[in-house]
Each structure stands twice: as structure tokens, then as C-alpha cells.
Structure 1
Amino acid sequence: MLVNILGGSGMNSRLNWALREKHGYVYSIGSHYFPFSDTGLFMISFGTEPKQMSKSIQLINQELHKLRNEPLGVKQMNAAREQLFGHLAMTEENNLSFMMMMGRSMLDIGKILPIEQTYDRIRNTSPQMLLTLANDIFDESQFSFLRMEPK
């Protein structure tokens, strides 16, 4: 849910709204999370002009800071849940995506979680839980940075 709020595929993600829609700094932006049993990878990728790089990074850091320090309000939390419910519903309709989701569940928790339990977990996720998770995942001391520019 946290990754969807920050930079998921929706046009209303925080990063898309702040960097693309509001300021026009980036062509595209998204965040991705790859969990593993003992570690994980969280990644933000974006395309921009070299002259917009510093401003873009500054805005990304501001959004990460907000997620680490400001709990979501009721409206934001409900919108995040609804977006994730919609994403899961679409996943259920695509056999390959559904099988990948079940496979990931087996690898991550050792069993296939019934979809209704997944929905219950989402319903029971609180803003404080997301705040705690954000402080763990978005720990700046663990960040690395890769920048690719034209010659």
C-alpha cells in the first residue's frame, strides 16, 4: 500500500502528482518494491532533463519525509485502500498475475493467503502502521543512488 501511495501506477500517486503534474520536472516516475524473505529492494525511478535532476531529487526527499513523519488522514487512507483493492481485483482476473501473486505469497510467508484475508489485512492497516513501515523502508542511511546522464 505504501509503495502505491508514493509512486504506484496511478496518476494520483504522490510522486507523480508532485513531480510531473504540479511541477513538470519529470517525464515519468514510479516506485517499486521487491520483498524477499531476508531483505528487500525499494526503488524510485524517473526520467528527467539533467537541469531538473536536483529539483526532482529534492521533491522526492520531501515526499519520503512526509510519509515518514505525517500519518495519512482518513480520506487518504481510504483512497489508498480503494486503489489497492482495485489493483487486486484486476490481478485476480489475469491468470498469470494471479499465479505470480500466489507464488510470491508462498515465497514470502510459506503459504497462499486467501484473497479475502488479503483484503482484511488491507482494511485493518492503520495510518500508524504505515508510518512505522515508512520509517523502516525509507531509512536514508540505507539509500544508494544511481544516476545515468547523456555524455
Structure 2
Amino acid sequence: MQNTKKKLWVQVWGALIVAFGTSVVIVASVKNPSKADSEIHLIQMTTDMDSALTAGGVVDSVYSNAKFGGALLIKNIKAESWVPSLPETYEVLLLVRGWKRKDSTMKEGILLCKNGMLARIDTTPSIDASHGTPRSVYGFAMSFSLRIQKEC
């Protein structure tokens, strides 16, 4: 009798865990951007960033990715090709393309938003070692995700 009760409780708890897990997966699937939506936003981010980069700066490295849940685009600009006016020029070119300045306490860069996407233009250099040798670069990044959709 005791053994039967124990088996019943194990089955009940197992069913509850499966139901909870299923509901979490369903909620995450509904709220997070789909892969197709992320790919569309990555195309938009690439177009807008490439437009801004026509103002100058030599791209040193590129990383992009679109998947279920969001998209990311990073282009590091060689420090040797950087001039102090580039961040503001990039900003103006993005504003013309529909981006809006995001209020921020960030002192090292500029933040802009557009259609649930966030652009970050760094105004201080960082070190990039993605090609093996550390180099000084300025980051120019755009991202899209559920969290950013709420922020922007």
C-alpha cells in the first residue's frame, strides 16, 4: 500500500514538472523573436550600419548572427582610421535613417533605437584579439532581442 502511494506521488510530481516545462517553452516561443524576424532585423541593421560606415573608418573585424531570440551585428573599426568626429557623423547618418537617440548615462558611447533594435557607437577604444593579435579598435554594434524591444 505504501509503495503504491509513493508511485502515485512520483507520477503526480512528474506530470506537474512536465506541464510546467511545457508552459515555459510555449511562453518563451511566443515572446521571443523568431529566427525569421531576427534575420529581417539583421538585414536592416547591416544596411543601416553600412550606410553610416560610408562616412569613414576602416572595418577591422565583423561578427553577425541571427537566431531564435535575436540578432547581433558588430563591426570593429581600426583605431588608426578613427577620428574624433566619426561617432557624431555615424549618429547623424543613423538619425536620417529613422534611428532615435536613447537617453543614457553611458559616457563611452552613443546609443540609438529603431524598431526594437539598439545601436551602440563606442567613443573609447577597446582591445580586439579575434584575429590572434591584440589591436585597438572602436566598436560599432547593433542588436535586436526581446529585452531590447522593451528598452527601445
Per the normalisation by structure 2, the TM-score is 0.34
Per the normalisation by structure 1, the TM-score is 0.34
Higher strand share: 2
Larger Rg: 2
Higher helix share: 1
